[in-house]
């Protein structure tokens, strides 16, 4: 009976999200937004596609404002590594206008996805860094600001707080990737430092900001003591 209900309810929810009651997610009223959030754990792929469809419409700025309410949902959908890039990119689209406001909720949610701990995602550092790099190499200053904020987050080594609920319907969740050995921590910071070195020593517009990010987080990484030689070399 449980399997029958799950399969039936998934079919119903999917039909609602494509041409049905919840199809145009950027234009839903409060009640239907709540319905959308409630069915998303049942059909995560359909929910993600519905938000993508809304943000890719003819009025992206208006859609970004209207879809800001789904930022928490997108963070939950980013839990699974295969969906991470799509979710992070959509949160970045929504956060772009407020990229320089570190206290903005959407910006804070975006940056949290790139923390070593309590990130809410099991995406590897290799799957996260391309999102940061794309933003840092953008011609849009707002996109670069968002990329720098994410880079600062990925270089954080000491201060981690669980700011967001890890629950997602009936799906079992934890707080995301969590390094269990010193070798895993070393791998994380070496990967980030490789990107820092590539961009900080370039002539790209983001280079000064990248250098500042490393300088700002240097003490914490040095205190961890896992990549001392790498820090010396890059510095």
Poorest-confidence range of 23-37, 125-139, 209-223?
Answer: 23-37
At residue 7 the predicted structure's pLDDT band, cuts being 50, 70 and 90, is: very low
How many other C-beta atoms can be found within 10 angstroms of the C-beta atom of residue 33? 19
For 132-146, write each residue's pLDDT tens digit: 999 999 999 999 999
Q: How confident is the model at residue 189 (pLDDT cuts 50, 70, 90)?
A: very high
Looking at per-residue pLDDT, the higher value among 122 and 170 belongs to 122
Query: Residue 89 pLDDT > 50, yes or no?
Result: yes
Q: In the prediction, which pLDDT does 1 show?
A: 39
Say yes or no to pLDDT of 4 above 70: no
Q: How far is CA 189 from CA 9, 80, 155, 165, 226, in A?
A: 43, 22, 7, 26, 8
For the chain, what percent of residues have pLDDT higher than 90? Answer: 66
77 band by pLDDT with thresholds 50, 70 and 90:
very high
pLDDT for position 61: 83
Task: Check residues 152 and 60 and name the one with the higher pLDDT.
Answer: 152
Confidence bin at 22 (pLDDT 50/70/90):
confident
């Amino acid at each position: 009976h449980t399997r029958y209900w799950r399969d039936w309810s998934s079919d119903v929810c999917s039909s609602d999200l494509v041409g049905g009651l919840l199809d145009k997610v950027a234009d839903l009223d409060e009640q239907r937004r709540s319905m959308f959030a409630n069915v998303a754990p049942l059909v995560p792929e359909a929910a993600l596609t519905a938000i993508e469809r809304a943000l890719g419409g003819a009025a992206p700025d208006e859609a970004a404002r209207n879809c800001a309410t789904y930022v928490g949902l997108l963070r939950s959908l980013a839990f699974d590594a295969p969906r991470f890039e799509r979710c992070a990119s959509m949160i970045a689209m929504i956060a772009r206008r407020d990229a320089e406001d570190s206290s903005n909720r959407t910006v804070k949610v975006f940056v949290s996805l790139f923390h070593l701990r309590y990130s809410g995602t099991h995406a590897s550092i290799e799957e996260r860094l391309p999102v940061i790099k794309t933003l840092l190499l953008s011609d849009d200053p707002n996109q670069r600001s968002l990329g720098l904020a994410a880079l600062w987050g990925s270089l954080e080594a000491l201060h981690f707080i669980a700011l967001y609920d890890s629950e997602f319907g009936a799906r079992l969740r934890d707080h995301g990737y969590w390094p269990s050995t010193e070798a895993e921590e070393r791998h994380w910071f070496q990967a980030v430092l490789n990107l820092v070195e590539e961009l900080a020593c370039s002539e790209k517009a983001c280079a000064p900001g990248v250098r500042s990010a490393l300088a700002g987080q240097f003490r914490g990484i040095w205190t961890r003591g896992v990549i001392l030689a790498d820090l010396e070399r890059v510095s």
